Structure 1
Amino acid sequence: MRAADEKMGAATPHVHPRIEPAGFTSLLSSAGFTMPVVDVDRVQVSYKGLADLVRDLRSMGATNILASRARRPLTREAIAAASRQFLSGAEDGRVTEMFELLHFAAWTSAVPGNG
């Protein structure tokens, strides 16, 4: 997406911020939870093109959720530049991406109905 940003003239976030698995337990603790546990599943997926990756990201709700994100749609030229850059890393016509799925659990001492 950096190639698209160059065509658009400004850098902007395109996907939601990433949470490091190792730091997630401290976020849960800071929110008042105890005994947090985080597990990570890593899944490799290969794509023929950027549009396929974007489709999957949208299906997962993993595109840009920032309120301050750019509202201006990408131009065709910007999308083409991003697609070319994406495919520059292709092996056998496919680009492999890694997804990390975070599973977490924690306890709280709050009792429902007690204020």
Structure 2
Amino acid sequence: MADEMFVLLGWAWNIDTATRLATRHRARRVDIRPLAWARAVIGIDPDHAATVDLARPLLTVTTPGTRAPLVIDGWHRIHRALTTGIHQLPVIHLDADDERACRVWGGEL
């Protein structure tokens, strides 16, 4: 089975690698309401979203040259949470070394 990937514009991350690396980091709860707008541009399957585990942390990274975290895993969890009135989810933010280790393409490789 191929590794799960998140692709956005000219960037891509291996989510299986990111998930393994995330075990070294601590989750914190974050307000996800500011992310609601992005569901319009991320492909969400509502049937799949209805089955996701909201206890599983979202994974975020910061790309080189930016400061705002980017969700690379968890958009279906965000959708389910927001449509059921949940406003906070656990998030693990990968550090720069881990972001680079799971990045497949984009930026300076």
Q: TM-score, normalization: structure 2? A: 0.30
Bigger CA radius of gyration: 1
Q: TM-score, normalization: structure 1? A: 0.29
